[in-house]
Structure 1
Amino acid sequence: MTRHEPVPMAASPAPSPETEKEQPQRPVGPGPVRLGLSGKLLLLTVLFVMLAEVLIYVPSIATFRLNWLNDRLAAAHTAALVLDAAPSGMVPESLARQILASVGAHGVAMKMGHQRRLLAVSDMPPHVNHEIDMRDMPWHRAIADAFVTLLCSDDDAMRVVGPAPMGGDFLEIVMDEKPLRQAMIRFSTNILLLSLLISGITAMLVYLALHYLLVRPMRRITANMMAFRADPENSSRIISVSKRRDEIGLAETELASMQADLSSMLQQKSRLAALGLAVSKINHDLRNLLTSASLFSEGLTMVPDPRVQRFAPKLMRALERAIAFCESTLSYGRAQEPPPDREETALEPIVAEVRDTLELADDRIGWITAIERDLMVDADPDQLLRILLNLARNAVQALETRAPNDPSRDQVRITGRREGAVVVVEVSDTGPGFPAKAREHLFKPFQSSARTGGTGLGLVIAGELVRAHGGEIGLVEGTIGATFQFTIPDRAVDLEAHRPARARA
């Protein structure tokens, strides 16, 4: 266990110079961003390259140590041949010292059979701190021993055992660990400097590549988004799409599309706001005119003409509804529709009033009704009339585009039926129908009209009123012309409110 503890200590100093080198490069700017994208890329590249170099360094330092020891064993092998070849094993002490100095050892010994011969010895250390057997050296032990050597003191000595020449069992040498440690430190220093050089060059190349491929386009997109935010209605602020076909190019395309849609929508909202302001100014005078017309129309009730007596009440009711509408509605987007004042209402008379309002009595356009007898709707009568009037007027206007009209061909059909607690009403025509573009924007102002110059507000108003009753409205697919169906459910019965009356009964 003690041999593995020094490993992180040897590797830990490597990132420190880079960390200290990178800290001054952090931008000191306002906001939460402390390190820009370019700085992060550069820092991460350096760290990853240094990490790769550390992973390479660990086996490299172990291999360097083994090679250094094998070189000393090879030199000791040659020295053993010289010492063993001396007559009667007599070698002058000066020559033995020179041979040991060339090997870098204090002593050389060889074992042959049961005999162990000390070939040469000089200044033997008092004790040996480490024993290294080069005949059996697994990789994990070589790595651990390498870091142990790096952390040893200059006074440590080691005994190295390796294969012996001339059929001996093994050859051993005793030597100081200081030369090995110094050689390993020089090797580590060279590796560190080379790693710093490689990481610096690699980081710079990667930084430049990513800067031109990612960072600069992202800065351009960010700057455009900030400029567009300052004036989103200015179409000149929409980003110009580059010719790139990668993710950056796709992001530019989608951003340009989103900015164009948003700019168009904001311009439309501005026009609607201006329109609402203009209508609100007109509304006061229009209400006064309608009030005057209503007062004048009251005199028509005194005319004895039967036709006047027939249409005068309808005219009065129409003017009263117009005055009430002007008082409560300024324009779409500013109007606040009042909650429906629901009551049991007969559908057929309201449909007949819609026909009279649209002046279809001259039979230029066919009018067909198929309403269940005595069908009652739990709805606000005025709002139900507006729903049917808007839908029927759209149908008539669609048929009038094919003038001259033929009542056998150009027809408006209104049907009504009850399905349980829900009344289902359909308003259909035999006109050209809705184009695909208008279908995508149904019930949206200024977008759902099928006619040139139309506003589409009729469908919007009808949709709002139907939903205020808790119902649904939609275009029925697969029919000739256009068929709109809306539903109005009955109100839920409040049992608690009816319980006292039932108790009294």
Structure 2
Amino acid sequence: MRATAERTGIAEGRLARLMRPLRESLSRRLLVLTLLFVMLAEVLIFVPSIANFRLNWLDQRLAAAQIASLALEARPDNMVSPALREELLKNAQVYAVALHRDDARRLVLSEDMPPMVDTSFDLRDAMAIFQIMDAFETLFAGDGRVVLVTGNPRFAAGESIEIVFDETPLRHAMLRYGKNIFLLSLVISIITASLVFTALHFVLVRPMRRITENMVAFRNDPEDARRVIAPSGRADEIGIAERELSLMQKEIRATLSQKAHLAALGAAVSKISHDLRNILASAQLISDRIGAIDDPTVQHLAPRLFAAIGRAIDLCADTLKFGRAEEAPPRRKRFPLAAFVDEVVEAAWPESERIGWHNDVAPDIEIEADPDQLFRILLNLARNAAQALAESAAGGEIRIAARRDGGHVYLDIADTGPGLPEKARAHLFEPFTGGVRAGGAGLGLAIVDELVRAHGGHIELVGSGPTGTHFRICIPDTGGALTACAEQDGAPA
């Protein structure tokens, strides 16, 4: 058993070494497959052709035997000398000839002691499939077989003619024919395979190799602009692949470049946030002293000033952490939403006669969320809406509404501004690409989307056009699912 396993392992190893060049090269595989397919086609042609060759050979023997029998018809007694009989049988390459005529079977020519017949074939009305089977039986029968063949005589010289002969010359003739057909098929296969291989190599393989080599080179150094493939201008599938690959590589390079810019910007923002945090810390000390002033107006505004400075300091601290960690997980708590929206409105935009604010949140609605993160979410959306209205000559209104549906709170922020441009809508929540205003960084909505998702929620643009823009946010309670939030998001406010 062990020796058998070792031999099997050796055979498998040799087979793997033989197959390795085919697995590693598409060109070699294509050449071998073309050869095999052409040879298969030649085999399908050879099978009926070898049967036809045998049938023609037998027809010639029957015709020769019929001609030999005519010598006896010329004699009054239908007799010839033994020497002439042997010569006629030798020329016809048969042992005996029998003719069936007028419902009588007559042995026309025969040796004195003809050999025993091993098998017989009837060529009259034989089907093609049986002719093919008989042909292969002849090929594999071996030499020395004596056969009896029955066929139709020419020129209606009788009902049938039978001959007995040695099948060896027929078998040798069929083997020579098969060998010639094989050699011819091999030559045709090589020529055809070479032509097909050359055509496919230049039309398919070489362009695919160029694409493959370019992909490998681009992977090694995607930031090198020289490694972006240059489309050849072809209009077929290869040309489409080249153009799409070129576009994809350009987009990848743009993304990598953007990420590099983001990294540089992050370093700069971290430095600015570090210094800004120190400045705000000093401002907080000053605000503490202002809070000690015994004045009703100061006492009314001081808590909000303290909260704003505290949020700014926390935001600077979080910015310094951004390069090392993700946004902090929400620290949820339940609180009333209406008063919270009032704070957002006061912080979002200075009082202006051209902008009207409407807090439509019912006093009894509570939300379970991180107050600081929710404040940033609503502040970004409210400021975007206020800036859009401020740039509009007619001004407009901003309306914030909310409703609770089971374990979800839906917040609607709508304005009557001019709507978002098409480019902004296509990349609305993507940083640095979804900017709404000229000169904007496009970070506000990206931050909003990240913070909403951190709550397990969902934000969508309900509509935007000449009559205004409408955003809807869904914030689920603790344990709420994002899919459940998105499924109910289409409900009317």
* SS at 1:89 equivalent: coil
Distance, in Å, in 2 between the alignment partners of 1:375 and 1:74 is 111
2:272 is matched with 282
1:88 is matched with 77
Query: Within 5 A, what are the aligned runs for 1:386-401?
Result: 386-401=376-391
2:90 is matched with 101
Does 2:55 match 1:66?
Answer: yes
Distance, in Å, in 2 between the alignment partners of 1:210 and 1:108 is 58
8 A Cα contact 1:429 1:481, kept in partner: yes
Letter in 2 for 1:190: N
1:429 is matched with 415
* SS at 1:329 equivalent: helix
Letter in 2 for 1:128: V
Letter in 1 for 2:385: A
Distance, in Å, in 2 between the alignment partners of 1:91 and 1:450 is 117
Distance, in Å, in 2 between the alignment partners of 1:129 and 1:278 is 102
Distance, in Å, in 2 between the alignment partners of 1:302 and 1:161 is 132
2:9 is matched with none
Query: Quick one: structure 1 residues 321 and 158, their matched pair in 2 at CA, closer, same or farther if it must change by over 3 Å?
Result: same
Letter in 1 for 2:476: P
8 A Cα contact 1:418 1:424, kept in partner: yes
| Partner residue of 1:350 out of 336, 340, 343 | 340
1:223 Cα offset (Å): 0.9
| Partner residue of 1:483 out of 470, 476, 490 | 470
2:281 is matched with 291
* SS at 2:214 equivalent: helix
* SS at 1:456 equivalent: coil
* SS at 1:272 equivalent: helix
1:36 is matched with 25
Letter in 2 for 1:207: F
Distance, in Å, in 1 between the alignment partners of 2:474 and 2:159 is 105
2:173 is matched with 183
Distance, in Å, in 2 between the alignment partners of 1:194 and 1:222 is 38
Letter in 2 for 1:146: A
1:470 is matched with 456
Query: Quick one: structure 1 residues 359 and 112, their matched pair in 2 at CA, closer, same or farther if it must change by over 3 Å?
Result: closer
1:333 Cα offset (Å): 6.9
1:274 Cα offset (Å): 2.4
% identical equivalent positions: 52
Gaps of 5+ in 2: 1-14, 481-493
Query: Quick one: structure 1 residues 384 and 25, their matched pair in 2 at CA, closer, same or farther if it must change by over 3 Å?
Result: closer
Gaps of 5+ in 1: 1-22, 494-505
Does 2:217 match 1:231?
Answer: no
8 A Cα contact 2:357 2:397, kept in partner: yes
* SS at 1:171 equivalent: strand
2:301 is matched with 311
Does 2:112 match 1:126?
Answer: no
Distance, in Å, in 2 between the alignment partners of 1:25 and 1:340 is 60
2:12 is matched with none
Query: Within 5 A, what are the aligned runs for 1:254-273?
Result: 254-273=244-263
* SS at 1:277 equivalent: helix
* SS at 1:265 equivalent: helix
Distance, in Å, in 2 between the alignment partners of 1:387 and 1:117 is 114
1:157 is matched with 146
Distance, in Å, in 1 between the alignment partners of 2:104 and 2:470 is 114
Query: Any idea what the Cα deviations from partners look like across 1:1-32, whole Å, max 9, x if unmatched?
Result: xxxxxxxxxxxxxxxxxxxxxx9997966xxx
Aligned length: 464
* SS at 2:23 equivalent: coil
Q: Which one is further off, 177-186 or 230-239?
A: 230-239
8 A Cα contact 2:337 2:363, kept in partner: no
Distance, in Å, in 2 between the alignment partners of 1:140 and 1:28 is 41
Query: Quick one: structure 1 residues 36 and 124, their matched pair in 2 at CA, closer, same or farther if it must change by over 3 Å?
Result: farther
Distance, in Å, in 1 between the alignment partners of 2:347 and 2:69 is 127
1:500 is matched with none
2:35 is matched with 46
Distance, in Å, in 2 between the alignment partners of 1:394 and 1:152 is 95
Query: Any idea what the Cα deviations from partners look like across 1:231-277, whole Å, max 9, x if unmatched?
Result: 22333322222222221122222222222222222221222222223
Query: Quick one: structure 1 residues 377 and 168, their matched pair in 2 at CA, closer, same or farther if it must change by over 3 Å?
Result: closer
8 A Cα contact 1:344 1:376, kept in partner: yes
8 A Cα contact 2:349 2:383, kept in partner: no
What do you get for the CA RMSD once the two structures are aligned? 2.8
1:421 Cα offset (Å): 4.4
Query: Quick one: structure 1 residues 349 and 113, their matched pair in 2 at CA, closer, same or farther if it must change by over 3 Å?
Result: closer
Query: Quick one: structure 1 residues 167 and 195, their matched pair in 2 at CA, closer, same or farther if it must change by over 3 Å?
Result: closer
2:183 is matched with 193
Letter in 2 for 1:133: D
* SS at 1:341 equivalent: coil
Distance, in Å, in 2 between the alignment partners of 1:134 and 1:464 is 87
1:214 Cα offset (Å): 0.9
2:6 is matched with none
Distance, in Å, in 1 between the alignment partners of 2:277 and 2:463 is 40
Distance, in Å, in 2 between the alignment partners of 1:368 and 1:112 is 119
Query: Any idea what the Cα deviations from partners look like across 1:127-149, whole Å, max 9, x if unmatched?
Result: 22122223342222211111121
Distance, in Å, in 2 between the alignment partners of 1:197 and 1:24 is 28
1:501 is matched with none
8 A Cα contact 1:159 1:175, kept in partner: yes
8 A Cα contact 1:279 1:331, kept in partner: no
Query: Quick one: structure 1 residues 358 and 63, their matched pair in 2 at CA, closer, same or farther if it must change by over 3 Å?
Result: closer
Q: Which one is further off, 56-65 or 229-238?
A: 229-238
Report the TM-score, using the length of structure 1 for normalisation.
0.84
2:202 is matched with 212
Does 2:399 match 1:413?
Answer: yes
Query: Any idea what the Cα deviations from partners look like across 1:381-426, whole Å, max 9, x if unmatched?
Result: 2222222211111112222334xx66xx333332334445433322
1:6 is matched with none
2:10 is matched with none
Distance, in Å, in 2 between the alignment partners of 1:24 and 1:105 is 55
1:210 Cα offset (Å): 0.9
* SS at 2:367 equivalent: strand
Report the TM-score, using the length of structure 2 for normalisation.
0.86
Letter in 1 for 2:39: M
8 A Cα contact 2:145 2:167, kept in partner: yes
1:211 Cα offset (Å): 0.9
2:134 is matched with 145
8 A Cα contact 1:25 1:39, kept in partner: no
Q: Which one is further off, 363-372 or 60-69?
A: 363-372
1:47 Cα offset (Å): 1.0
1:216 Cα offset (Å): 0.9
Query: Any idea what the Cα deviations from partners look like across 1:425-474, whole Å, max 9, x if unmatched?
Result: 22222322211111121221112211112122221222222233333222
Distance, in Å, in 2 between the alignment partners of 1:334 and 1:482 is 36
8 A Cα contact 2:98 2:107, kept in partner: yes
